Amino acid sequence: MAAENSYHSCFSGSSRIKSPPLNISVSDSPNRTAPQSRVIILLLILCIIIGLVTLGFVVIDQIADTSSEGIDVVVQLAGNDVQVTLLPGGKVNQITGLNVYVDGHSLPNPSVVHDPLVGSSIQFAGVAKDVTGYEFVVVEATFTDGTQTIIEYARMRFS
């Protein structure tokens, strides 16, 4: 009978079986990241930032270093015309032709000057016609070996 009472008391609603307490800490929760995961995420973010900064420097260098040939150029606006002056020095004596255009604006007849004179102003007529606001004037040189290189990329205000 004693066995029946213990059996009856175990499964009756009057007495409950106590289970051991669950010892779950916050760090054991599957919704939290482990400290190693945080370090990996931080390193990935740091690598992405370093990569973007490096890419920015490369792009800036490409934009700012358009006159890498050691050629100094002066670009001026005169109404609808653009005046270009090649200054002595560098590879300026190897230039066989100049092409000037406004970036994003096509010309029906490209403005090309063959055998430009160093030190004198060269006028490119009508290059700035119908251009307003701030735009880039691009000066492209052709050299004796046939290569073409942008030697000036000047931002100017057109009216």
How confident is the prediction along the chain (159 residues), in pLDDT tens digits per residue?
Answer: 444 454 444 555 555 666 666 665 555 555 555 778 888 999 999 999 999 999 888 877 666 554 456 788 899 998 888 899 998 887 888 899 998 988 877 776 677 888 888 888 999 888 888 888 888 888 888 999 988 888 888 888 888
The encoded tokens of residue 71 equal 């050629």
The answer for residues whose C-beta is within 8 angstroms of residue 138's C-beta and 6 or more apart is 100, 101, 102, 103, 150, 152, 153
pLDDT at residue number 43? 93
Q: What is the pLDDT of residue 48?
A: 95
Q: How many CB atoms lie within 10 A of CB 105?
A: 14
pLDDT one-digit tens code per residue, 89-134? 878 888 999 989 888 777 766 778 888 888 889 998 888 888 888 8
Residue 23 is given by DSSP the state: -
Residue 51: predicted pLDDT: 93
- Looking up tokens 């010309």, which residue turns up? 107
Going from the C-alpha of 94 to that of each of 9, 70, 100, 122, 150, the distances in angstroms are 107, 12, 18, 17, 14
Contact criterion met (CB below 8 Å) for 100 and 124: yes
Residue 18, token pair as written in the block: 């106590």
Tokens of 91: 């590879």
